[in-house]
Amino acid sequence: MAILIACGREQLCVGPSLSRARHGMFAAVAKRRRLTHAAKRAAMATPHYDQFLLDATIRDPESGSNLCPDTLYGLYTSWCHLNRREPQTEKVFWSAMHTRIDPQPNGLRMRGEAAADYLLSSYPALV
50 lies in the same domain as 29 = no
Beta bridge partners of 14: 3
- Same-domain check for residues 70 and 33: no
Q: What is the pLDDT of residue 31?
A: 52
- Give the structural domain span for 10: 3-38
Query: For residue 99, is pLDDT > 80?
Result: yes
Same domain assignment for residues 22 and 60: no
Judge if 53 and 101 occupy the same domain.
yes
Q: With 70 as the cut, is the pLDDT of residue 53 above it?
A: yes
At 89 the three-state DSSP class reads coil
- The pLDDT confidence band at residue 70, using thresholds 50, 70 and 90, is very high
pLDDT band at residue 66 using 50, 70 and 90 as cut-offs:
confident
Q: What is the pLDDT of the chain when averaged over all its residues?
A: 75
CA 7/CA 77 separation, integer angstroms: 37
Domain of residue 91, CATH code = 1.10.10
Contacts 24+ apart (CB under 8 A), 72-81: 72/97, 72/106, 72/108, 74/118, 74/121, 74/122, 75/110, 75/114, 75/115, 75/118, 76/52, 78/114, 78/115, 78/117, 78/118, 78/121, 79/52, 79/55, 79/114, 80/52, 81/117
pLDDT band for position 42 (50/70/90)? low
Instruction: Report the number of distinct structural domains present in the chain.
Output: 2
pLDDT at 40: 57
